[in-house]
């Protein structure tokens, strides 16, 4: 079965204390392939999350710095991709592919992560290593 793919900019976020959010549409799957972050000032940072879980954190110890991350991360239908910037001299661009997903999957198959009362996660035995 062919899965039409579309190149997509999911987010471009800039500004002091700004959170940008993209929600993956129904019957689609997002594959994040590139995150590019830049800062014109030192001592600031930003983070990118997928469905509320931190995917990456960028810290900028020096001014006029650009950082790039190439990766493959999946977000399923109705999941969110978000980025938070801590300065108005900071920006992040999140892009990748949006593909049709006739499976209606809402998460990876067979992966269950349990939360303890203290907020820590208990990994399944096959991932705890």
Q: What is the pLDDT of residues 48-71, one digit of tens each?
A: 999 999 999 999 999 999 999 999
Confidence grade of residue 129 (pLDDT, cut at 50, 70, 90):
very low
Q: What is the pLDDT of residues 87-126, one digit of tens each?
A: 999 999 999 999 998 887 887 766 555 555 555 555 555 5
Q: For the beta carbon of residue 43, count every other beta carbon within 10 angstroms.
A: 12
Q: Tell me the CATH number of domain 5-128, given options 1.10.3470, 2.20.25, 2.60.40, 2.60.120.
A: 2.60.120
Bridge partners for 48 per DSSP:
56, 83
Closest listed residue to residue 43, CA positions, set 62, 56, 58, 65: 62
Q: What is the pTM of this model?
A: 0.80
Sign of dihedral through CA atoms 122, 54, 87, 80?
A: negative
Mean pLDDT throughout 21-28? Answer: 94
Domain boundaries defined on the chain: 5-128
């Amino acid at each position: 079965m062919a899965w039409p793919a579309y190149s997509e900019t999911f987010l471009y976020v800039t500004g002091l204390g700004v959170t940008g959010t993209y929600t993956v549409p129904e019957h689609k799957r997002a594959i994040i392939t590139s995150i590019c972050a830049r800062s014109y000032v030192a001592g600031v940072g930003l983070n990118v999350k997928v469905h509320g879980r931190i995917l990456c954190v960028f810290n900028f110890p020096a001014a006029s710095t650009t950082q790039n991350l190439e990766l493959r991360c999946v977000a399923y239908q109705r999941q969110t991709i978000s980025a938070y910037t801590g300065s108005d001299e900071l920006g992040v661009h999140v892009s990748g592919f949006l593909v049709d997903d006739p499976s209606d999957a809402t998460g990876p198959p067979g992966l269950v992560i349990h939360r303890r009362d203290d907020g820590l996660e208990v990994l399944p035995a096959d991932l705890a290593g």
